[in-house]
Amino acid sequence: MIASGIAAHEGLVVVATKWWVIPPVAYLLGSIPFGYLIVKRREGRDIRSQGSGNIGAANVTRVAGLGAGAMTFLLDVAKGYLAVWGAARLTDEDITWIMVAALAALAGHLFPVWLGFRGGRGVATGVGVFLPVCLPAVLLALLIWVGVAWFWRYASLASIVAAASLPLLTYLLYAPGHAPPRIVSFSVALAAVLIILRHRANIERLIAGTEARMKFRR
């Protein structure tokens, strides 16, 4: 009995130790600066000194065209999705560790160690990390983004509104008729706040009327 208890305890220690690799791995995945790498390779320029200086898909589109922007968006989504998918597989769908991975990957994109912790706004990576958590909420948030962007022609405003809507959408759609786990509500709300805060310069320009409208070049 004692031996089996010791073995079970040791097994839990091994599992806990293994799971602690999730935050750093998720952060490193999220920190891959695809926008920076794509523009550097295609045009030999540092995206941080072009346009708004952001490494995300919107600025890449302005600087290097729609194809480069789309590629940046998809890769940023993919790295967030992969971080959460890996955490789910490793922990047998433990929602707490899934949320830890989601926030770590988002933090990696916002504050990448490779670029002096000066990263993107987190929209595409946020899509990626929450797609496997609550697909309907993310899809509706994307529709909101498209609607706001189409009507007002501000990518930043669309991102802010979509991010602000995601916590409520997740609460309503995670398990209709039932509230989601608190860790989910907390994590989605925290992610939304971080994304909106990273848009503070855009908010200032929107208020001042100097924010650039969406324009694309081939």
In a domain, 216, yes or no: no
Domain that holds residue 83: 2-208
Query: Which residues partner with 175 through β-bridges?
Result: 178
Mean pLDDT, rounded, of the chain: 90
Q: How many domains does the chain have?
A: 1
**194-214: per-residue pLDDT in tens?**
999 999 999 999 999 999 887
Q: Is the pLDDT of residue 54 over 70?
A: yes
Cα dihedral across residues 27, 29, 35, 41: positive or negative = positive
Cβ neighbours of residue 16 closer than 8 Å, sequence gap 6 or more: none
Both tokens of residue 133?
A: 């958590």
Q: Is the pLDDT of residue 5 over 50?
A: no
What is residue 212's predicted lDDT score, i.e. its pLDDT? 85
Say if residues 102 and 84 touch (Cβ distance below 8 Å).
yes
